[in-house]
């Protein structure tokens, strides 16, 4: 009986996760990819990975960080085909570490707050703030970006 309750709780947890995150994942993927079909495929593949590995993800120190890594992987798989539409986004990812580039994209381009970006990426807020600071020093003309 106890195992059944655990399965139900895990399933409910995944459903809540799958309901909350796809719109934010899609906005991120859309900003990084060149075509809408790729966005749908990236989000679908990321959620499929998450569902298949949900029990394992629950045992990890940061489920959100592991899923974010999968989202990055899926974006890179789909972006190998064609260059991104936005040259500034390409410059961010070509000139900064991933956390810094993601921090700029999420906070400065997509308008998320530092806390929401950190939660989405599965890192602490100071990591996002440090990423933004590194971006301001390395690529000041891109680090402030534009707000939606």
Q: Three-state SS across 40-58?
A: HHHHHHHHHHHHHCHHHHH
Residue 3 has pLDDT above 70, yes or no: no
- Residue 83: inside a domain, yes or no? yes
- Residue 148: inside a domain, yes or no? no
- Residue 43: inside a domain, yes or no? yes
pLDDT digits (tens, 9 = 90+) for 18-55: 999 999 999 999 999 877 778 999 999 999 999 999 98
Q: Is 0.75 surpassed by the pTM of this model?
A: yes
Number of domains in the chain: 1
Structural domain range at position 8: 2-143
User: For residue 49, how far is the Cα from the chain centroid?
Assistant: 14
Residue 102 has pLDDT above 80, yes or no: yes
Residue 146 has pLDDT above 60, yes or no: no
């Amino acid at each position: 009986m106890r195992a059944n309750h655990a399965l139900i709780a895990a399933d409910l947890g995944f459903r809540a996760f799958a309901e909350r995150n796809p719109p934010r994942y899609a906005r991120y993927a859309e900003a990084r990819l060149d075509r809408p079909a790729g966005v749908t495929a990236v989000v679908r593949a990321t959620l499929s990975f998450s569902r298949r590995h949900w029990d394992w993800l629950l045992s990890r120190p940061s489920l959100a960080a592991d899923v974010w890594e999968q989202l990055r992987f899926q974006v890179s798989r789909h972006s190998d085909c064609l260059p991104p539409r936005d040259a500034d986004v390409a410059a961010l990812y070509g000139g900064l570490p991933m956390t810094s580039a993601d921090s700029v994209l999420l906070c400065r381009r997509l308008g998320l707050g530092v806390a929401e970006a950190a939660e989405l990426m599965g890192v602490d807020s100071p990591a996002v703030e440090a990423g933004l600071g590194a971006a301001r020093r390395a690529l000041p003309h891109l680090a402030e970006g534009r707000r939606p």
